[in-house]
Structure 1
């Protein structure tokens, strides 16, 4: 009898141990995901097969011996206010890895092909969490080569940690500005004197060109502007440079307002804009805050004649959340599927196939950044942060979905922005003129729609 009781107790303890282990495993994976297979895509947008040349890779001629997987970390805004833009970034990075693996992977100096595996870490749309995510990737998981998130403060925080451990951080979509000669402006990624991070993007100082270009393409001229931006270093740098550019064009900036990310009430700011006679708004805002702002504009029954938003107005989810109320809103973009660059059209179609026909103006940049990293690894011949970094700094990378890319000796590459406008759920290219598909339409009052 005693032996039977002992057996029952032993079985119960074993069961509890298995359940506890499963629970701990689930908790440990809460903030990371690993991608080892291709995201679903149609046959018409699959990457070229073995034996053909693919953008961002070398020609493959058949089966090769497989080596160990190359695990690349990725810092990404999987949750928080920036999750909508983070989702497109993540899709592009996964697509690039899947396409690379479809070619056999990356060939190193050992003569073997190595499959790319991406391990994602959630920055939770926070610079503090981005730093923590980088720390976890390096110290807990031993990852020393990483792709980036898509917001400047998050990437600055993560890059600072990467510098401490000499891990290579391959950044895209963060302002590239250098510090001013007199030191009054610290710059962004380009001003941090980073030795273990690179960046491909536009400068905040030059980003205002597309908002100006969109305004100049209007059929009804305007002259009074407001600048609305997040109250953080990213936002202030953008706001100051945008205000200066608008004034340099001869326009009046009659209001300049800053807000805290996650703000729920914009009514006082909207009232200030209305009372100042604002005709055009240029803003740097997250998708979630942008949706809130537009809804409150409608609630107050007021709207400008022109509204241009950076970061928050371009995701498909922004347009879907607002429906017809997103019409006439202008926004920036880093890429278009109509670019005359290798694989741009096919990448755009692949995104549409998986997003109910909706397009993207962002995915070409993180896809190209991943292409560049894969080329750099292959050129280095080893999967080590120092040699890979050395291939990027001063490196030239032809045939990406962003065209031919040249990095300077400090690891910075410049790409220009475009201006778009939402019309009937579709994107109209406004600027630059060589890519334009239409003129800027005046923002219609809410009661006239």
Structure 2
């Protein structure tokens, strides 16, 4: 790809932290090759590994589909996907993004699974002028967490997912359905997600207050904490019948166990991130039944792949048949991530020009297996929103299944059952 000289920097070494991205050499030798390299950063290991559980299955199918190449301006391009493990660590995510840009010389870089992955990768891409597409992180911690200015946006980095306004609307919809007292205990870690969700202006506090909910927020806890006694005591003293927040699965497991030991039994527990995956619910045993969470994607979502035409139900079913595991929400978004990549490659006016590829991303307007992706209609530049519903883990045979119980903000996605109170 040809690159502009105005933004070029000199390699200064890999950053020690995410806030200062690695600044890499700007000159790359681009052979006239029919192969386009796509980097993919994902948390294959560590506490966020649930987000990556289905990666290998999805990538296997994508590689098979791309084996025939993608046509652009009368020429067929082979697609090479290079996966790197962030190890659920933002600094490591920045490092492997730098490796993909400098050593592997990728043409497009992608990433998924919480701001701990998307933000450092996008920062590396932006400063090194590499087109980047990310997903699986609420747009506010992605955009504002990177210092985004709505009046300007970013030049090379684009993101599609839902926002905090959507998860708040879904959570309060669940709670209003429950009919319980409007006292809510908040659990927000000292990380990008927790600081965004708990932010007084952009997070949960203001809209909850506007709807008559009282939020009890004892303050930020460090990820992988081993003692939530102070939080549990505060929630009990306030009479909280609802508990909410955004946590990694190990933290929620610790909190939920200690809550039982200390006699805190809320009637509704709605937690972002920690309760997304069947593996996390299985680890909680019987106490996983009845927990509630946001639902970004399911087999019942009425969308099809632009690549293969496969339905959401068939994609989820194929994964379960191949692996013997239940479907997980990131399946759809990982597939959609590469739907967008393929669409961009096919539409770009000049695949040898980084500015043309970035322009093709910006001009995306398509339907995917997770819904529409259109960066011209986002709440801020570089962001396209996807629909969100909410629901509950309910008993199903010998196990549990995630059932959509509230679709008031995305009525095109069908409800599968009614909310049941805990205990």
TM-score normalized with structure 2 length: 0.80
1:101 correspondence with 2:66:
yes
Decide whether the 8 Å contact of 1:394 with 1:407 is kept in 2. yes
Partners of 2:295 and 2:388 within 8 A in 1: yes
SS in 1 for 2:82: strand
- 1:246 and 1:207 map into 2 onto residues whose CA distance is 12
- In the TM superposition, residue 256 of structure 1 has moved relative to its aligned partner by 4.1
Please, what is the CA RMSD of the aligned residues?
2.5
2:307 aligned partner: none
* C-alpha contact (below 8 Å) 2:37/2:107 kept by paired residues: no
Shift of 1:389: 2.0
Q: Is 1:221 the counterpart of 2:186 in the alignment? A: no
Q: Which residue of 2 aligns with 1:143?
A: 106
Alignment of 1:68-107 (within 5 A): 68-88=34-54, 90-91=55-56, 93-95=58-60, 97-98=62-63, 100-101=65-66, 104-107=68-71
Corresponding residue for residue 160 of structure 2: 200
Q: Is the 8 A contact 2:405 2:417 kept in 1?
A: yes
Please give the per-residue CA displacement for 1:155-188, whole angstroms capped at 9, x wherever unaligned.
22221111121111111122323999xxxx7677
User: How much does 1:82 deviate?
Assistant: 0.9
Larger Rg: 1
2:417 aligned to which of 438, 443, 446: 438
Deviation of 1:113 (Å): 4.9
Cα gap change, 1:251 to 1:93, in 2 (>3 Å): same
Partner in structure 2 of residue 420 of structure 1: 391
Runs of 5+ in structure 2 lacking a partner?
Answer: 1-32, 305-310
Q: Does 1:296 align with 2:258?
A: yes
Task: For residue 190 of structure 1, report the CA deviation from its aligned partner.
Answer: 7.1
SS in 2 for 1:199: strand
Q: How far does residue 95 in structure 1 lie from its aligned partner after superposition? A: 4.9
1:248 pairs with 2:248: no
Residue matched to 1:36: none
Change (3 A) 1:195 1:318: same
Residue 352 of structure 2 corresponds to residue 388 of structure 1: no
The separation in 1 between residues aligned to 2:251 and 2:236, in whole angstroms, is 19
Query: What is the distance in 1 between the residues matched to 2:141 and 2:217?
Result: 27
Higher-helix-fraction structure? 1
Shift of residue 71, structure 1, vs aligned partner = 2.5
* Alpha-carbon displacement from aligned partner over 1:100-130 (angstroms, at most 9, x marks no partner): 326x23123353352x332111212122211
2:195 is aligned with 1:236: yes
Deviation at 1:148, TM superposition (A): 0.6
Aligned residue for 2:117?
Answer: 154
- Partner residue, 1:17: none
Using the TM superposition, give the Cα deviation of residue 152 of structure 1 relative to its aligned residue in structure 2, in angstroms: 1.4
How far, CA to CA, are the matches of 2:389 and 2:325 in structure 1?
21
Structure 1: gaps of 5 or more residues: 1-66, 445-449
1:354/1:319 CA distance change after superposition, 3 Å:
farther
> 1:334-353 maps to which residues of 2 (within 5 A)?
334-342=296-304, 343-353=311-321
Give the whole-Å Cα distance in 2 for the aligned partners of 1:213 and 1:226: 17
